[in-house]
Copies of this chain bind each other. A is one copy, B any other.
Amino acid sequence: MGQTTEETQANADSVCLLETNIDDAGGELVGSVTEKLFKHGALDVFSTPIYMKRSRPAVQISVICKVEDAQLLEQILFREGLTFGVRRQILQRSKLAREFVTVETEFGKIRIKTGTLDGKIVNAKPEFSDCVSAAKKHNVAVKAVLDAAMAAYRRKF
């Protein structure tokens, strides 16, 4: 219990943020393109509800990616017929050093992602997919597994 499975140094890097406003495609298409963007390396994809002119509800699609992947992902937005224009900027990003530990719970092993700042762990969260799998296997609520995993983590650390 509690063995280290991965380690990343705390660091700062640059990421690219692509944005485009969509008022002429349905939400189904937006959802489908979102999945494609993740498959091609997007670090994160999210949508923001916005209001455009003439009472038009719309969404802003935001894609966060490595600078070297920006052109490919921008082309996916274009090739999927989602938009005629994409805005782009570079952002600085700070990240906690991440480390995974594994805890034993009554529902099996669950990985905990921890985040370290200046040598001190300041954040810890159970891997959500582990909790979903365990909840299905044991036929309990996902929240029960989340709580059990955090309690097990606290007993150890």
Does A78 lie within 8 Å of B122, measured CB to CB?
Answer: yes
Q: How many residues of A contact B (CB 8 A)?
A: 79
Q: Cβ of B47 and Cβ of A50 under 8 Å apart?
A: yes
Determine the residue in chain B with the shortest Cβ distance to A96: B84
B residues in contact with A29, CB < 8 Å: 142-143, 146
**Minimal Cβ-Cβ distance residue in B for A77:** B94
Q: Quick one: CB contact mask for A69-98 with B, threshold 8 Å, 1 for yes?
A: 000001100111111111111011111101
**Oligomer: number of copies:** 6
Q: Are B23 and A24 in contact (CB under 8 A)?
A: no
Query: Would A25 and B23 count as touching, CB distance under 8 A?
Result: no
Q: How far is the CA of A113 from the CA of B154 in the complex (A)?
A: 21
The answer on a CB contact under 8 Å between A81 and B143 is yes
Instruction: Tell me if A4 is interfacial: C-beta within 8 Å of chain B.
Output: no
Q: Give the nearest-CB partner of A54 in chain B.
A: B31
Known: A81-B144, A147-B154. A34 touches B46 (CB 8 A): no
**Does A48 belong to the interface (CB within 8 Å)?**
yes
By the criterion CB–CB under 8 Å, are B93 and A86 in contact?
Answer: yes
A147 to chain B, nearest CB (A): 6
Please give me the residue from chain B that is nearest to A16 by CB atom: B92
Residues of A bordering B, CB below 8 Å: 15, 17, 19, 21-35, 38, 44-60, 62, 64, 74-75, 78-89, 91-96, 98, 113, 115, 117, 122-125, 128, 132, 141-144, 146-148, 150-151, 154-155
